[in-house]
A and B are shown apart, each in its own frame.
Chain A
């Protein structure tokens, strides 16, 4: 009975066996023992998905390039499936990768272009150079078709274009500004700080571009054509050239104040006359409308700035969006993107280790404190709310105090300046009093904010944001107070005895000019005369007190705020002092070195991990905000305020905007009709509707995509479970089988033993 049973089992397993091994041999033609390890984990490494990674990389890359080779590589993939014999090692050795990677020649005849594209793909493969070279040779040795006709032309052109691009890029990297410096900073401080320096570079180039265009289109024509009497019919309508200040003698202090001789230079608004220049070239008259050029350049400047900011911000925003979609990736980001591979300094590396350690701990803590927050008792919650309210009130109070201080200081300084003071130096002091006040507040108040935020118990990231926002608020508030003071001075608000200024635009320009100087001087002063001695103190004294006094880290938010502030000043003052952009670009050029000095010599790397992506989007949002704040007063003054009658390109218009209206009325009827139509409700309302629909449409697509992502993710998880399940089953089955095999062998052995014994008997 038992024997029969055994027999039946035996036959069944025999029926199983061949089929099984046949099945495996199909895909893995080798020893069953070798392919079927007991551990299901090991088994997982045999999955085709694990084998075709190199191919996957390739496919990805192909997709990136959007070239037409995808088809070919798909073919490759098929070949790969056939040659799965590479599966016998967990990671296929190079030679086999190569085999599996080679395109199937019988299916595709290559032409020059696809061959070349394939060669270009080799660089993405994770194989040593030797193999790459062989692969390249192999691909090049294949018979390939020459392209014909237009294709050939296109191909030649593309190749030439690529070649030039390489050379051009090579040249650019050679002349690239601050390349070495950036590498140096990166090596010591990591990518977050370098992002700041890249911002500086970006601002430098922005201002430089603007300066060049202003110089070419406004300053140069004015200087060249001022005295040319090319065609006399169009005589200048207003004798605005008569405007000039009284003082003729040059004083050194004038250079910083923007008064005296400096006021009459091309730096300020008053220099540019309201004239349409006329120029004779071969008896044809060419006109150059300077006021229009002035206005257009202003518009161009703001547009260019806006586009640049939005472009950079959009990149950051996209990254943020990706991040926020998976807030979950903060740990992975920290671990896998944590180390800056560019660091090459032992001290920085040590600090980086420490910083990463802190960050990891902090993130873990935040998770815990999140739980704690939810478990907070009512009493604790009230305490925190109380503190936050208090902090908020203190902040507002500080803002108000700063605003008031600036307002009064400005008032005092203007009043004192109206009295005739002979002493040039005292005059100088009064001139700069408001600027000093603003800069001083900017230095002190953020420190207060830093102290306050400790009481509020925000998590570190939020605390940083809050301090930053408050400091930004302070800077903008101080600027707004300044605007208001200037505005009331210019328009003679609430004052009985005020004299109409000859050229108020110059006056505003001067004030901004002074602020910019003060700002720059502060950078120089704090870096070289305050922080540098401190750093020396910390380096050379072993006293603990001195060490604590002298140690300083490179605080990114504060430094960003500094340069953003300078840029805001530049935006605001630009209309009244066009060449401020030249000054700003020069200032940014120097600030780069000053900050580099501050970074390399004064500071030690910060214990806070600044991420490049996060800081970048932070910079850009602050910049965008400041941009809007600088734009508002300019827009107001352009559209509402009456330009001075004595000076400037808009001297005879009721407002600057009038010029546009006037020019518009000269245009042909077609444009006029279109213009009128665009400004009517008949155009605006449908436009709004269309925009709204578009917005809705994109929103819907977005929602659908999000949904899709969730669905796919869930599916992935399910597949993973399935895979896991199947693998477990398979390995169990194999084990069972092996056990049976062993039994059978044992049985067989026993039987033979038995037979032997019986036969011997």
Chain B
């Protein structure tokens, strides 16, 4: 612990505490976890930038079907590579303390594969494909499922979910808050 503490100054920790949903101790703990991914690199530079493949060895992200999307969303360099600060941002959003609105915002970005700020047909299809993994729904089932989703949530009939519509669903979904969480 003492060694880790020396990597951060008190002001930095205060910054992190103010700007994330973590306490100082949790920030340090997060750093330990980050360091465990690439001990040497992070040992030299506490805010080292790790490539996406390295980040995806983090247990929860490794098995998460949206792991690469998560990396892309949180990567400050937009290429999926993650620095410690990005990692902290990520874990902060996934923490228990983060409010629903913040989680919804990021979830929307994660699910928005083509980045057009709408969850369209292709986005939904990709989400479902990632969810079911190796088991594939056939085309008609997929079509039916997507139609059902849109029927439920697409209020303005533009065959895509805007953020407002997505947030509306999330507000109603009691499971989302539980599911969209990674304990540090």
Q: How far is the CA of A364 from the CA of B131 in the complex (A)?
A: 16
Contact with B along A61-87 (1 / 0, CB 8 A): 100100000000000000000000000
Stretch at the interface among A103-111, A244-252, A351-359, A480-488: A351-359
B86 interface hit (Cβ, 8 Å): yes
Whether B137 pairs with A333 at a CB distance below 8 angstroms is no
Q: Name the A residues within 8 Å of B132 (CB-CB).
A: 353, 356-357, 360
Whether B99 pairs with A124 at a CB distance below 8 angstroms is yes
Q: Name the B residues within 8 Å of A325 (CB-CB).
A: 172
Contact partner, B173, options A41, A333, A350, A719, Cβ 8 Å: A333
Contact partner, B135, options A353, A720, A723, Cβ 8 Å: A353
With A169-B23, A170-B25 as contacts: A53 and B156 at CB distance below 8 Å: no
Stretch at the interface among A115-123, A467-475, A747-755: A115-123
Contact partner, A336, options B85, B88, B170, Cβ 8 Å: B170
Q: How far is the CA of A611 from the CA of B176 in the complex (A)?
A: 10
Whether B176 pairs with A342 at a CB distance below 8 angstroms is no
Q: How far is the CB of A169 from the nearest CB of chain B, in Å?
A: 7
Whether B180 pairs with A337 at a CB distance below 8 angstroms is yes
Q: How far is the CB of B69 from the nearest CB of chain A, in Å?
A: 11
Q: How far is the CB of B16 from the nearest CB of chain A, in Å?
A: 8
Whether A331 pairs with B101 at a CB distance below 8 angstroms is no
Q: How far is the CA of A57 from the CA of B99 in the complex (A)?
A: 10
- Of A130, A174, A325, most B-chain CB atoms within 10 Å: A130
With A132-B19, A360-B128, A361-B141 as contacts: A354 and B135 at CB distance below 8 Å: yes
Contact with B along A149-180 (1 / 0, CB 8 A): 00000000000000000110110011000000
A424 interface hit (Cβ, 8 Å): no
Whether A364 pairs with B144 at a CB distance below 8 angstroms is yes
Whether B105 pairs with A53 at a CB distance below 8 angstroms is yes
Whether B23 pairs with A329 at a CB distance below 8 angstroms is no
Whether B164 pairs with A49 at a CB distance below 8 angstroms is yes
B10 interface hit (Cβ, 8 Å): no
Q: Name the A residues within 8 Å of B182 (CB-CB).
A: 341-342
Q: How far is the CA of A19 from the CA of B105 in the complex (A)?
A: 38
Q: How far is the CB of A690 from the nearest CB of chain B, in Å?
A: 33
A724 interface hit (Cβ, 8 Å): yes
Residues of A166-206 at the interface with B, using a CB-CB cut-off of 8 Å, are 166-167, 169-170, 173-174, 182-183, 186-187, 191
With A132-B19, A356-B132, A361-B137 as contacts: A721 and B156 at CB distance below 8 Å: yes
With A61-B99, A90-B116 as contacts: A716 and B23 at CB distance below 8 Å: no
Whether A60 pairs with B60 at a CB distance below 8 angstroms is no
Residue ID in chain A nearest B111 by CB atoms: A336
Contact partner, A345, options B63, B85, B124, B178, Cβ 8 Å: B63
Q: Name the A residues within 8 Å of B155 (CB-CB).
A: 713, 716-717, 720
A9 interface hit (Cβ, 8 Å): no
B169 interface hit (Cβ, 8 Å): yes
Whether B63 pairs with A346 at a CB distance below 8 angstroms is yes
Residues of B30-51 at the interface with A, using a CB-CB cut-off of 8 Å, are none
Q: Name the B residues within 8 Å of A356 (CB-CB).
A: 131-132
Whether A337 pairs with B133 at a CB distance below 8 angstroms is no
Contact with A along B85-128 (1 / 0, CB 8 A): 11011001010000101100111010100011110000010011
Q: How far is the CB of B158 from the nearest CB of chain A, in Å?
A: 6
B79 interface hit (Cβ, 8 Å): no
Whether B15 pairs with A133 at a CB distance below 8 angstroms is yes
Contact with B along A692-724 (1 / 0, CB 8 A): 000000000000000000000100110111011
Residues of B142-184 at the interface with A, using a CB-CB cut-off of 8 Å, are 144-145, 148-149, 151-153, 155-158, 162-164, 166, 169-170, 172-176, 178-183
Residue ID in chain B nearest A344 by CB atoms: B59
Whether A341 pairs with B94 at a CB distance below 8 angstroms is yes
Q: How far is the CA of A126 from the CA of B110 in the complex (A)?
A: 12
B53 interface hit (Cβ, 8 Å): no
Whether B60 pairs with A343 at a CB distance below 8 angstroms is yes
Q: How far is the CB of A750 from the nearest CB of chain B, in Å?
A: 40
Q: How far is the CA of A721 from the CA of B178 in the complex (A)?
A: 34
B4 interface hit (Cβ, 8 Å): no
Q: Name the A residues within 8 Å of B23 (CB-CB).
A: 166-167, 169-170
With A91-B115, A364-B144 as contacts: A341 and B175 at CB distance below 8 Å: no
Contact partner, A186, options B92, B176, B183, Cβ 8 Å: B183
Q: How far is the CB of B57 from the nearest CB of chain A, in Å?
A: 11
Q: Name the B residues within 8 Å of A348 (CB-CB).
A: 63
Whether B134 pairs with A331 at a CB distance below 8 angstroms is no
Contact partner, A329, options B153, B158, B162, Cβ 8 Å: B153
Q: Name the A residues within 8 Å of B173 (CB-CB).
A: 329, 332-333, 336-337
Whether B117 pairs with A339 at a CB distance below 8 angstroms is no
Whether B157 pairs with A721 at a CB distance below 8 angstroms is yes
A45 interface hit (Cβ, 8 Å): yes
Q: Name the A residues within 8 Å of B105 (CB-CB).
A: 53-54, 57, 126
Q: Name the B residues within 8 Å of A169 (CB-CB).
A: 23
Contact partner, A128, options B26, B64, B76, Cβ 8 Å: B76
Q: How far is the CA of A611 from the CA of B141 in the complex (A)?
A: 23
Residue ID in chain B nearest A332 by CB atoms: B169
Number of residues from A at the complex interface, CB < 8 A: 81
Q: How far is the CB of A559 from the nearest CB of chain B, in Å?
A: 19
Contact partner, A129, options B76, B156, B176, Cβ 8 Å: B76
Q: Name the A residues within 8 Å of B20 (CB-CB).
A: 123
Q: How far is the CA of A354 from the CA of B92 in the complex (A)?
A: 29
Contact with B along A322-335 (1 / 0, CB 8 A): 11011011111101
Q: How far is the CA of A174 from the CA of B23 in the complex (A)?
A: 12
Whether B174 pairs with A130 at a CB distance below 8 angstroms is no
A457 interface hit (Cβ, 8 Å): no
Residue ID in chain B nearest A93 by CB atoms: B78
Whether B152 pairs with A342 at a CB distance below 8 angstroms is no
Q: How far is the CA of A263 from the CA of B137 in the complex (A)?
A: 64
Q: How far is the CA of A716 from the CA of B60 in the complex (A)?
A: 38
Q: How far is the CB of B48 from the nearest CB of chain A, in Å?
A: 14
A654 interface hit (Cβ, 8 Å): no
Contact with B along A429-450 (1 / 0, CB 8 A): 0000000000000000000000
Whether A191 pairs with B178 at a CB distance below 8 angstroms is yes
A136 interface hit (Cβ, 8 Å): yes
Whether B64 pairs with A332 at a CB distance below 8 angstroms is no
Q: How far is the CA of A330 from the CA of B174 in the complex (A)?
A: 11
Whether B176 pairs with A339 at a CB distance below 8 angstroms is no
A349 interface hit (Cβ, 8 Å): yes
Q: Name the A residues within 8 Å of B19 (CB-CB).
A: 119, 122-123, 129, 132-133, 136
Q: How far is the CA of A332 from the CA of B102 in the complex (A)?
A: 19
Whether B101 pairs with A64 at a CB distance below 8 angstroms is yes
Q: How far is the CB of B86 from the nearest CB of chain A, in Å?
A: 6
Q: Name the A residues within 8 Å of B164 (CB-CB).
A: 49
Q: How far is the CA of A405 from the CA of B130 in the complex (A)?
A: 53
Whether A50 pairs with B109 at a CB distance below 8 angstroms is no
Q: How far is the CA of A641 from the CA of B132 in the complex (A)?
A: 61
A367 interface hit (Cβ, 8 Å): yes
- Of B101, B111, B173, most A-chain CB atoms within 10 Å: B173
Q: Name the B residues within 8 Å of A119 (CB-CB).
A: 18-19
Q: How far is the CB of A227 from the nearest CB of chain B, in Å?
A: 50
Contact partner, B86, options A126, A129, A350, Cβ 8 Å: A129
Residue ID in chain A nearest B177 by CB atoms: A337
Residues of B1-30 at the interface with A, using a CB-CB cut-off of 8 Å, are 15-21, 23, 25-26
Q: How far is the CA of A361 from the CA of B107 in the complex (A)?
A: 24
For the complex with contacts A713-B155, A719-B156, 11 further pairs of A-B residues with Cβ separation under 8 Å are: A90-B115, A129-B16, A331-B149, A333-B172, A335-B128, A346-B62, A349-B64, A354-B135, A360-B131, A716-B156, A717-B156
Ranked 8 nearest A-B pairs via Cβ = A720-B156, A353-B133, A129-B85, A344-B59, A349-B63, A128-B76, A613-B174, A337-B175
Q: List 8 A-B contacts (CB under 8 A).
A: A54-B105, A119-B18, A122-B18, A129-B76, A183-B183, A335-B149, A613-B178, A720-B156
B residues touching A (Cβ–Cβ < 8 Å)? 15-21, 23, 25-26, 59-60, 62-66, 74, 76, 85-86, 88-89, 92, 94, 99, 101-102, 105-107, 109, 111, 115-118, 124, 127-128, 131-135, 137, 141, 144-145, 148-149, 151-153, 155-158, 162-164, 166, 169-170, 172-176, 178-183
